[in-house]
């Protein structure tokens, strides 16, 4: 008595999930290529690798922040920062509250503004965790270099990036601010929903 | 040090894209993904609930049936995911007569179902059906995760009907410091949630679970998937699990309201303050033999949340089984197949 579904199946597997993350991985590769270039140049010129690493990560943080501020500009890169927010917005949309900053046409603008404000705070917290993850990754790469260990592939760099993000995100998630904010975010969204003032 | 040169990174990205393009074709041609492989027959039905009996795999199964009560969250085919990942197969092979409650998919008409409906009516009717069918005063009960908490409530209220109780990855103390789900739900206005939405949408639960580890579960997992796109068997295994993860039924509103408030927010189960259908649930009335199975690396139900049962149940024959793995691995990992069903069966058959 097997339960069956055709594949790909929207209720089971959405191939877009795979394609989205593949594009994000490619964007990650594009961002990391200059680091590799800089490293090999520095190596050839007997330069300061630590300084080169620092400069690259500063640029990386700036590029990601820019992408996150304007996801329309480079959505695949922005997703490196905002994977949680993306999922949240999809969830909110499924509950009838679309991810739009459109001005309200309804009368209950207060609830909508309150939701936007909490969502902004939520995004700030995610950004901080993502920045911390880049600092941690820079630190880990520096430690590896000091120990003479080599990162062998782009995938290894990506896995290190995931590991650093999970670590800083996990700390944020378990902290008191996130628990309270998570509750406020859902409550604020429900506030919009309940008052029937979500934009069409 | 960074080993790969820019040219090597370009080549790595090119190979990744090529594998992705080839794999997407494999993915489209896979055909149906099956879950739940063992033969089973419906033996009782009430509203959306179906009670299944799995076809015994020994000539004379044990006379006392085993009823599995799965969580309301997610679907119970996780217990019989595929040929070589089936906890139920292991229990059948050991000679047990296994039944499972499939709760179905609640819809708007189920919004007012309460925990009393689930525990006293649904579980109660299934237990009575099996007692009668097998001519037994009491049966064996195995509760999984949230289903374990529901089973504990039933066992406390009807201890005479349960011969042995097995709880698997079951939260009892919801306020251990490492309980991240409680941390997330603590500030949610549950009344507003249920009053606004009626039933709790499965997608909201999915978000909660994904948000616990988003970079792995919503990112890295799919990048790694590209590595196995040319392996049909591995791909099918991945898709089975993927199907299960996203197959999240909505939760009946009133039952969710009580579970979220009384269990998660106010931790009433361990305090003996849960009230079901007007009756207080006192875990000291769980006097039958109890086997408490938990996963030592469980991030959803931390071991301490499960092990709290030792200090509050009334059984004089209480044992624990610690499985080295996580909340999902305890059902589907290779080691789980070798260790968990034989241990549960041996414990039951000795009683």
Residue A167 has pLDDT above 70, yes or no: yes
Does residue B259 form part of some domain?
yes
CA nearest to B7 within chain A: A33
Comparing CB atoms, the residue among B183, B185, B239 nearest residue A12 is: B239
Which residues are within 8 A (CB) of A143 and not within 5 positions of it... i.e. 6 or more apart?
none
Q: Which residues in chain A touch residue B26, judged by CB atoms under 8 angstroms apart?
A: none
Alpha-carbon separation of residue B331 from B126, B168, B235, B295, B349 (angstroms) = 23, 10, 19, 10, 21
Per-residue pLDDT band for A93 (boundaries 50, 70, 90) equals confident
Query: Among this protein's residues, is B145 annotated catalytic?
Result: yes
pLDDT confidence bin for B171, thresholds 50/70/90: very high
Using CA atoms, how far residue B163 sits from A174, B217, B291, in Å, is: 40, 40, 12
A to B CB pairs, distance under 8 Å: 207
Q: Do residue A21 and residue B184 have CB atoms under 8 angstroms apart?
A: no
Largest separation between any pair of C-alpha atoms in chain B: 74
Weakest-pLDDT range from A70-84, A110-124, A141-155, B67-81: A70-84
CATH number of the domain encompassing residue B247: 3.40.50.1820
Quote the ipTM score: 0.88
Does residue A197 register a pLDDT over 70?
no
**Whether B213 and A166 lie within 8 Å, measured CB to CB:** yes
pLDDT tier at A9 (50, 70, 90 boundaries)? very low
CA B249 to chain centre: 13
What are the Cα distances from residue B70, in Å, to A8, A163, B66, B103?
27, 32, 13, 8
Q: Look at residue B96 and tell me if it is in a domain.
A: yes
Reduced to 3 states (helix: H, G, I; strand: E, B; else coil), residue B168 is strand
List the catalytic residue out of B145, B153, B312, B313.
B145
Query: Is the model's pLDDT at B107 over the cut of 90?
Result: yes
Sign of dihedral through CA atoms A113, A119, A125, A128? negative
- Cis ω on the peptide bond leading into residue B201 (within 30° of 0)? no
Nearest to B10 by CA among A114, A184, A26: A26
Q: How far is A21 from chain B (nearest CA, A)?
A: 6
Best of B2, B5, B41, B186 to substitute, by most chain A Cβ atoms within 10 angstroms, is: B2
Domain count, chain B: 1
pLDDT computed for residue A59 by the predictor: 83
Pick the range with the lowest mean pLDDT from A78-82, A168-172, B295-299.
A78-82
Q: Is the pLDDT of residue A109 over 50?
A: yes
Please give the pLDDT value at position B262: 98
Partners of residue B185 in chain A, C-beta under 8 Å:
183
pLDDT category of residue A194 using cuts at 50, 70 and 90 = low
Within a domain: B11? no
pLDDT in tens, B201-240: 998 998 889 889 999 998 899 999 999 998 888 999 999 9
The verdict on a CB contact (< 8 Å) between A91 and B185 is no
* Out of A11, A33, A190, closest to residue B196 by CB: A190
* Domain extent at residue B279: 40-349
Closest by CA position to B322, among listed B345, B343, B300: B343
Contact B81, B244 (CB under 8 A): yes
What does the pLDDT read at residue A72?
66
Is B266 within a domain?
A: yes
Least CA distance to A157: which residue of chain B?
B2
């Amino acid at each position: 008595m097997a339960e069956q579904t055709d594949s790909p199946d929207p209720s089971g597997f959405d191939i877009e999930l795979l394609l989205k993350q593949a594009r994000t991985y490619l964007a990650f590769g594009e961002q990391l290529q200059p680091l590799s270039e800089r490293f090999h140049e520095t190596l050839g010129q007997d330069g300061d690798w630590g300084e080169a690493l620092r400069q690259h990560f500063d640029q990386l943080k700036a590029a990601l922040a820019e992408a996150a501020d304007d996801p329309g500009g480079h959505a695949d890169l922005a997703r490196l920062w905002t994977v949680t927010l993306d999922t949240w917005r999809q969830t909110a949309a499924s509950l009838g509250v679309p991810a739009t900053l459109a001005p309200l046409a309804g009368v209950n603008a207060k609830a909508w503004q309150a939701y936007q404000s909490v969502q902004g705070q939520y995004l700030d917290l995610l950004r901080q965790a993502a920045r911390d993850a880049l600092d941690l990754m820079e630190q880990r790469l520096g430690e590896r270099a000091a120990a003479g260990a080599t990162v062998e592939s782009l995938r290894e760099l990506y896995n290190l990036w995931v590991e650093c993000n999970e670590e800083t995100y996990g700390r944020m998630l378990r902290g008191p601010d996130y628990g309270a904010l998570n509750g406020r975010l859902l409550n604020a969204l429900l506030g919009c929903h309940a008052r029937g003032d979500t934009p069409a | 040090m960074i080993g790969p040169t820019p040219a090597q990174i370009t080549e790595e990205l090119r190979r990744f894209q090529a594998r992705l393009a080839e794999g997407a074709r494999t993915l489209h041609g896979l055909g149906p993904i099956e879950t739940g492989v063992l033969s089973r027959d419906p033996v009782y039905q009430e509203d959306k609930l179906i009670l299944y009996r799995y076809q015994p795999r020994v000539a004379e199964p044990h006379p006392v049936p085993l009823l599995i009560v799965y969580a309301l969250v997610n679907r119970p085919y996780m217990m019989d995911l595929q040929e070589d990942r089936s906890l139920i197969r292991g229990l059948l092979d050991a000679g047990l007569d296994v039944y499972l409650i499939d709760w179905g998919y609640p819809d708007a008409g189920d919004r007012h179902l309460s925990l009393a409906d689930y525990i006293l009516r649904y579980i109660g009717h299934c237990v009575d059906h099996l007692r009668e069918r097998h001519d037994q005063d009491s049966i064996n009960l195995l509760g999984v995760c949230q289903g374990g908490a529901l089973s504990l409530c039933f066992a406390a209220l009807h201890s005479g009907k349960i011969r042995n109780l097995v709880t698997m990855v079951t939260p009892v103390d919801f306020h251990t410091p490492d309980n991240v789900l409680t941390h997330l739900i603590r500030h949610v206005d549950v009344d507003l949630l249920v009053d606004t939405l009626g039933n709790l949408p499965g997608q909201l639960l999915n978000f909660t679970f994904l948000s616990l580890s988003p970079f792995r579960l919503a990112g890295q997992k799919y990048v790694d998937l590209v590595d196995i796109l040319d392996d049909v068997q591995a791909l099918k295994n991945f898709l089975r699990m993927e199907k299960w993860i996203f197959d999240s039924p909505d939760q009946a509103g009133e039952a969710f309201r009580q579970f979220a408030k009384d269990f998660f927010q106010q931790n009433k189960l361990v305090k003996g303050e849960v009230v079901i259908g007007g009756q207080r649930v006192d875990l000291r009335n769980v006097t039958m033999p109890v086997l408490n199975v938990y996963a030592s690396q469980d991030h959803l139900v931390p071991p301490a949340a499960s092990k709290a049962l030792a200090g509050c149940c009334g059984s004089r024959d209480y044992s624990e089984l610690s499985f080295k793995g996580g909340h999902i691995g305890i059902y589907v990992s290779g080691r789980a197949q070798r260790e968990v069903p034989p241990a549960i069966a041996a414990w039951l058959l000795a009683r």
